[in-house]
Amino acid sequence: MVVELNNTNSVANRFLTELRDVEVQKDPLRFRRNLERMGEVFAYELSKTLDYAEQEVTSPLGVAKVSLPVDQPVICTILRAGLPLHQGLLNYFDRADNAFVSAYRKHRKGEDGFDVEVEYLSSPSIEGRVLVISDPMLATGRSMVLVYKAMLRMGKPKAIHVVSVIASTEGVEFAKKHFPANTKFWLGAVDEEMTAEAYIVPGLGDAGDLAYGNKM
């Protein structure tokens, strides 16, 4: 299942518009906050797909029956750009466990191409858990797939959700081929093009640099 938020009119379109806007991008605080707010929207929508069970809660005046999630997810984020999006997801899944993965593009000397390498992984067991993997940009899809494969060292999840603010058509198709068939993709928007350096067009630029400053 692939869900594109911008196909439905909602306040998420405002957050996505500001993330793309070159003028608004000049304020890193605003950029990070908009990534966080997108994470909150994704979390709310994703929560509708979880398993629920009826419970009771006691108020000062009586007992009410409520439906609450059976499981809390493991939220996995690709450093560093994914941190604000992760925080937005965590704001709503406030009892979730957390995983962090360092993945980066290793450019080949004298060549335009690059390889994606996973250097660091910190995670609880995901055996039988709901796994949410988030990254603001789903460009080629290779980073997302490598992170998923690395997370399998921690167990076999019962459900997988992929969350990205902006994806490329090519990246979505690549990811769909390498993730299990029942994986759910939650995307803010899908853009058709990529540059030779694998940046999404129109996209929004380098999410990590815009959120935390330029890197060497």
Q: Where are the domains of the chain?
A: 2-50+72-212
d(Cα 76, Cα 134) in Å, to the nearest integer?
6
pLDDT digits (tens, 9 = 90+) for 151-189: 999 999 999 999 999 999 999 999 999 999 999 999 999
pLDDT digits (tens, 9 = 90+) for 56-79: 999 999 999 999 999 899 999 988
If you average pLDDT over every residue of the chain, what do you get? 92
What number does CATH give the domain 2-50+72-212?
A: 3.40.50.2020
| Helix, strand, or coil (residue 113) | coil
pLDDT digits (tens, 9 = 90+) for 108-126: 555 555 455 777 889 999 9
Q: Which two tokens stand for residue 53?
A: 């069970």
Q: Which two tokens stand for residue 110?
A: 């004298």
pLDDT digits (tens, 9 = 90+) for 122-142: 999 999 999 999 999 999 998
DSSP code for 133: E
Q: What is the mean pLDDT of residues 196-216?
A: 91
Identify which of 158, 41, 126 has the alpha carbon closest to the alpha carbon of residue 89: 41
d(Cα 214, Cα 191) in Å, to the nearest integer?
24
